[in-house]
A and B are shown apart, each in its own frame.
Chain A
Amino acid sequence: MTLAADKNTDIVVPDGHVKLTIDGAEVVAPKGELLIRTAERLGTVIPRFCDHPLLEPAGACRQCLVEVEMGGRPMPKPQASCTLTVADGMVVKTQLTSPVADKAQAGVMELLLINHPLDCPICDKGGECPLQNQALKHGRTDSRFTETKRTFPKPIAVSSQVLLDRERCVLCQRCTRFSEQIAGDPFIELLERGSQQQIGTAQDQPFQSYFSGNTIQICPVGALTSAAYRFRSRPFDLVSTPSVCEHCAGGCATRTDWRRGKITRRLAAEDPQVNEEWICDKGRFAFTYTTEPDRLLRPRVRDAKTGELRDASWTEALRVAAEGLTKAKEAGGVGVLPGGRLTVEDAYAYSKFARVALGTNDIDYRNRPSSAEELAFLGSTVSGTNPEHGVTYGDIEKAPAVLLIALEPEEEAPGVFLRLRKGNRKHGNRVFHMGQWTTPAVVKTNGTLIPCLPGEEADMLGRLPSEVDELLRRPDAVILLGERAAEITGLFSTARELAAQTGAKLAWIPRRAGELAAIEAGALPTMLPGGRPVTDSVARAEVELAWGLETGTLPTAEGRDLAGILGAVANGRLAGLVIGSVDVHDLPNPELAERALDSGVFVVSLDLRESSVTRRADVVLPVAAISEKAGTYINWEGRRRPFPVVITGTNRLPDCRVLDTLAVEMDADLFTQTPAAAMADLGRLGHHTGNRIPAPSVDAGRPNRPGQRHAVLATWHQLIDHGSMQDGEPHLAGTARPAVARLSVDTAKAFGVADAALITVGTDRGSVTLLAEFADLPEGVVWLPSNSTPATVRTSLGAGHGALVTVTTAANGAAS
């Protein structure tokens, strides 16, 4: 007794904490903590199904029963430890010390298994199933249930990618709670009562969620399984490699499972600072593009005699490429377009290749609409972004107000969307969306739309509602800019001014995973690695010293940007092009790009799969896909997201290695033989502390105004669309949002298309025909998804956000 008393006095209970006893051990826990987690910290795992740390407690499965004694009086029945918060002086006995708790748990398990089909051999969850594991650990060895089990037809496709087997369900409601609380898409619900209680979908409400894959992962039984992973393998036979998602700038941690050189599935990994435990369906399911039949496996060289591409050895292809590039360099110069999906290592190799091997600043990674103002913004504000000083996911969650400008979070940065929603639910954030219509994201973040014409965003910043202005002045408020900001004259400048005036933090969230890495690596015409201005002699000297170059070797003038490079190629001022993974249809002017590629200049293409670029190239060098190489992405926060090789032994070469060898053929050394070498070489440059590129100062542009004959186009990409990195996954494609053209009723009336089901949006270049849907857009504005139809906005219309378009009925039969 004395001993115990001594022990009691030893434990200091800090403020806001309580002391309780679990299985005879005294433990201090913060007030409000759930008993099940306190026990877990102590190393006692109480079995559970419904409990999930990121979902609100439900107490649905009753598996976590423990014996509890409060103030010396035992509670009459065992209590669910996942809904009970700790209290001072509580005495808890788990299944380890209490036969009552143990028997209660075994009893619950027996009940849960009564209607469970026990079809583990054919169930995809078998081998990694909490029900299986806990039944073996805490369940009875036999069942006393001899009656006929309740059966359901199975499986039902909840969507094209999620299959539901109601027999296996233990009604823990993790999926329904996830849908309601985290994703905000109540697509899946609990139906019926009693023994007929089941999970189902609403009849009239179409299934639509970008996050449905998470329900498969958190389902503690095999009730929700993935159509893509159906019967593919067992966990014991899979190699799990940590990886980072390559689809957007979010940098979500993922886990790639593979066997026999083939990826079988991708899951969300846990990273509390970035994606918590969730990823979007694109990140989860879109990985089959690397095994499409048009994957490039061998180098190709254009045959001098036939003019056709033919397979070649690496030696030959590199020699031809080096000779061609050397000749082109002398004949006028070579432009470099690395594309926006590179790792830092690869982007750095492109950047160094352009400067050292080609002696040019004509390099621009931005394979999308871009502007000179953006270039200044990237140099002055974005380069050097890091989570210590910039905006982070955590900041978004805790910010009192977030203003999103030209950013559609659910479509362009799903991780950011989830944080916005969480911030609103947990901390009551105010979210303001400056856009054109009340998108699902506006509703689900409980946000407020600040409507404006496409292109009018910059102007609108000057006359924000006073409430927004006032909220932005609160500490920790955040302003977020999206990729389409580059299409709006003056937006970057005014957003910077607004941030400076209000004290709100400013961040730029691009759409592609490689953008921040390319900026850091200096794959831009005005910037060397680390944001060093090319025109700054001190910065150049620093780089020359680190790269072992003679003083004055680096080009001193700013290079051409994307449009400049393509224009110069098209009219013969540049004689060659080195192109990374660039899809011509993503470019602001695909027609100009095709003209440039067809102009007969020497083109070296480093790509994963056949494309309209590789078909026109003189030398095609195949590169490693994301799963075949190591590397580092930098997400929009500036956080480094390194990842190892997933599938080893493929002998595929990353871009940095290919460029290194190509440079050696051209008598230049890049020292980027491996991603690790490239990273070390970049590291030697150190942080840039000198001059930076001056901030942009551009007045808000005058947006196009809708007239009697023309409407103004608003457009952005949908998350799941016709992007080439979603190829080969029909189950994912099945959950894409329908492609519709949106306009207001008044606009439809004004253009005489109010009764038409199909409308045609056109320019003098071409047209897109889509089903019309009415939404709350400003008058004279029509919205199109950028790349969700065979006819895309960029290629078919040759237009972008804020352009003038015609709107007509599609009665003349013009199909998209």
Chain B
Amino acid sequence: MFDALKGFGVTFGTMFKKVVTEEYPEVKKIPAERYHGRHQLNRHPDGLEKCVGCELCAWACPADAIYVEGGDNTEKARFSPGERYGAIYQINYLRCIGCGLCVEACPTRSLTMTTEYELADDNRQDLIYTKEQLMAPLLSGMEQPPHPMRLGDNEQDYYVKGPELAVSMESAPFADSMETAPLKEQGK
């Protein structure tokens, strides 16, 4: 009899403690800033893609989750500065283990990770994210490729003047967080 009361004591006591229940999905938890969430393919400030289709991310991937095929930029259809762009880009989130080696491998800092963690679905096909799903959204001042290079004459300008461009864009609303901001803040 005394034991039963003791049990209720725990129940009542809990009522005065801090609630540990997550109100997910009504209230979404903001993960840590460096959380390894869904990937994002970033853009240069004029909207051209940073991805050059080099496949180094696919090479680095220990889970073989990434598939890339390069393409040839032409004068008529330019997707990135320079000769080459990523024509096909797929990440299979059934395979991805979120290790981030792909991000380290990326030579142009095209591939980064967002903090978006809602990567569940009820079928396999939809978990293979394509380039359209992974591309960073167009911020103000950006233009949907294909279009000519706006920030220089060749790809060197984009990389050599990269820091400068970033500084000059400092005042722009997107400049601080083009590569790392959670999608919500980028206007998704």
Contact = CB atoms under 8 A, between A and B. Distances in A.
A236 B59 contact: yes
A127 B108 contact: no
A122 B69 contact: no
A122 B83 CA distance: 7
Top 9 nearest A-B pairs (CB, nearest first) are A231-B70, A121-B54, A122-B84, A234-B55, A121-B107, A122-B52, A231-B84, A236-B59, A121-B52
Contacts of A121: 52, 54, 56, 107-108
A462 interface: no
Given A121-B108, A155-B83, A231-B84, A237 B55 contact: yes
A233 interface: yes
B82 A231 contact: no
Nearest to A127: B59
B58 interface: yes
Interface in A215-232: 230-232
A232 B69 contact: yes
A251 B66 CA distance: 37
Contact of A231 (B56, B58, B72, B108): B72
A126 interface: yes
A248 B147 CA distance: 45
Contacts of A233: 55, 69-70
Given A121-B54, A121-B107, A122-B54, A234 B59 contact: yes
Interface in B40-76: 52-56, 58-59, 67, 69-72
Contacts of B107: 121
Interface size on A, as a range, is 10 to 19
B27 to A, nearest CB: 42
A122 B82 contact: yes
Interface string A112-123: 000000001110
Contacts of B71: 231
A625 B183 CA distance: 48
Interface string B129-141: 0000000000000
User: SS class of chain A's interface: helix, strand, loop or mixed?
Assistant: loop
Contacts of A231: 53, 69-72, 83-84, 87
B83 A126 contact: no
B151 to A, nearest CB: 18
B84 A237 contact: no
Contacts of B55: 233-234, 236-237
Interface string A233-258: 11011000000000000000000000
Nearest to A165: B83
Contact of B58 (A122, A154, A234): A234
A542 B69 CA distance: 56
A347 B83 CA distance: 47
A127 B84 CA distance: 16
Interface in B87-119: 87, 107-108
B156 to A, nearest CB: 9
26 contacts: A120-B54, A121-B52, A121-B56, A121-B107, A121-B108, A122-B53, A122-B54, A122-B82, A122-B83, A122-B84, A127-B59, A154-B83, A155-B83, A230-B72, A231-B70, A231-B72, A231-B83, A232-B69, A232-B70, A233-B55, A234-B54, A234-B58, A234-B59, A236-B55, A237-B55, A260-B67
A398 B52 CA distance: 50
Contacts of B58: 234, 237
Nearest to B108: A121
B137 to A, nearest CB: 25
Given A127-B59, A234-B55, A237-B58, 11 more contacts: A120-B54, A122-B82, A122-B83, A122-B84, A230-B70, A230-B72, A231-B72, A231-B87, A234-B58, A236-B55, A236-B59
A232 B55 CA distance: 10
Nearest to A117: B156
A691 to B, nearest CB: 59
Nearest to A154: B83
Interface in B126-160: none
B92 to A, nearest CB: 13
A812 B100 CA distance: 71
A397 to B, nearest CB: 41
A126 B70 contact: no
A231 B89 CA distance: 13
B186 to A, nearest CB: 26
Interface in A95-141: 120-122, 126-127
Contacts of B52: 121-122
A237 B64 CA distance: 10
Most buried by A among B53, B71, B83, B87: B83
B72 A126 contact: no
Nearest to B55: A234
B48 to A, nearest CB: 14
Contacts of B67: 260
A155 B82 CA distance: 11
